Amino acid sequence: MSGTLSGVSCLVTGASGFVGHRIVQMLLEEEDLGELRVMDKTLSGQLLQTCDRFQSKIPLKVLEGDIRDPEFLLRSCQGVDLVIHTAAMIDTIGRVNKETLMSINLHGTELLLESCVQNNVRYFIYTSSMEVVGPNTNGDPIVNGHEGLVYKSTLGFCYGESKRQAEQAVLQANGRQLQNGGSLVTCSLRPTYIFGEGSQFLQLHLDQALQNRGVFHRISKKEALANPVYVGNVVWAHVLAARAMMGPGTAQKIAGNFYYICDDTPHMSYSDLNHALGRELGLEVEDRLAMPYPLLYFVASVMELVSFLLRPFFRFAPPLTRHLLILLNTTFTFSYKKAHKDMGYKPRYSWEEARRLTTTWMATILLQRKEEMKKK
């Protein structure tokens, strides 16, 4: 039997982010919380508008500060029962240096865990990523992977490594004794590639398609299958994980475990996902990669070498890296069976509904771009 979030004081970090903001929305709309605290380094206008709409429903506290500030974290966690930690620096092409990534994604998580222990925060959910697994540098595929799968994970990229170490810290903290003698309960959720309204990656691909006469660039081979997940289903999984943590029959199942989070979106390449979402808007996708994959790999290697040579003078983030190329062109799919078994997770949104909602949002972006073009 799952628990309830009624009367719970919850802190959401990264609350202005793509996933964090949607978690805040769902908690405010559907849960009878005792209090909600929203935290981010910079609070977006969109988040503040959401908070304004619900300020009469439950006590809301807005916290603006850095995840690397231990004093700020200690104050933020006082009196909290549940932390949902989505805050992270996301970097797919090496734009951010390793020290910054580790300080935010790993050290910030460690500081937050310590603040929970000091403040007797009982429950902690970490938003991880499938990139803590891979793909590895060999591009070895995974088909319908599960939590018990052993995969030779030779991560060649700082972002995935920072998330992997942070997840380890979260799971190892499960069972830590709190100041009041209780114990910390933690779990980690590993979403696959997340799409939906507000996705910065989808918006980037859309802008590139507009510059390419309404045609998405082919960035992944048709046969390189991923299982994208709709943002609404990722958020729903977080709520179910929180309920399960507080349920007498489910708390021990979920404690100290990680879960792959995906849904029933058809398995397809990243490029074909873009096309599936943009087809009704008249957008097309290129038939093949710009050049053969081995040649693309060589180009990415050269770009990385140039970036390395220029580093003493300035930071050049190559638009294509070997890691990104492998990520986009490796079959990497997972199953959500364990999440269903342990926390009752089933996708709340069907593929048809997720596609409709996302395409409608994409249409508004296209309209904005056309208005911007008229003003130039």
pLDDT in tens, the chain (376 residues): 466 898 999 999 999 999 999 999 999 999 889 999 999 998 888 888 888 888 878 899 999 999 999 999 999 999 999 999 999 988 877 777 888 889 999 999 999 999 999 999 999 999 999 989 989 888 899 999 999 988 887 766 788 889 999 999 999 999 999 988 889 999 999 999 999 999 999 999 999 999 999 999 999 999 999 999 999 999 999 999 999 998 877 778 899 999 999 999 999 999 999 999 999 999 999 999 989 999 999 998 998 888 888 888 887 878 888 888 999 999 999 999 999 999 999 999 999 999 999 999 999 998 888 788 777 6
Domains and CATH numbers, the chain: 9-199+227-267+332-352 (3.40.50.720)
Give yes or no for a contact between 221 and 5, defined as CB atoms under 8 angstroms apart: no
- Minimal CA–CA distance to 317: which of 103, 129, 132, 157? 157
Q: Of 163, 253, 341, 375, which is the active-site residue?
A: 163
User: How much is the pLDDT for 376?
Assistant: 66
> pTM for the whole thing?
0.93
User: How much is the pLDDT for 1?
Assistant: 46
- Minimal CA–CA distance to 161: which of 128, 132, 191? 132
Please name the amino acid found at residue 159. Answer: Y
Strand order in the sheet with 35-40: 60-64, 35-40, 9-13, 82-85, 123-127, 185-191, 258-261
What angle, 0 to 180 degrees and rounded to 10, lies between the N-to-C axes of helices 231-245 and 18-30?
A: 60
Phi, psi values for residue 150, rounded to 5°? -95, 120
What angle, 0 to 180 degrees and rounded to 10, lies between the N-to-C axes of helices 200-211 and 351-375?
A: 50
Alpha-carbon distances of 339 from 47, 240, 265, rounded to whole Å? 29, 9, 16
Please state, in angstroms and rounded to a whole number, the distance separating the CA atoms of residues 243 and 84: 12
Give yes or no for a contact between 253 and 140, defined as CB atoms under 8 angstroms apart: no
Q: Long-range contact list for 180-185, CB < 8 A, 24+ apart?
A: 180/120, 182/120, 182/122, 183/122, 184/113, 184/116, 184/117, 184/121, 184/122, 184/123, 184/124, 185/122, 185/123, 185/124, 185/245, 185/251, 185/254, 185/255
Q: Is 338 a catalytic residue?
A: no
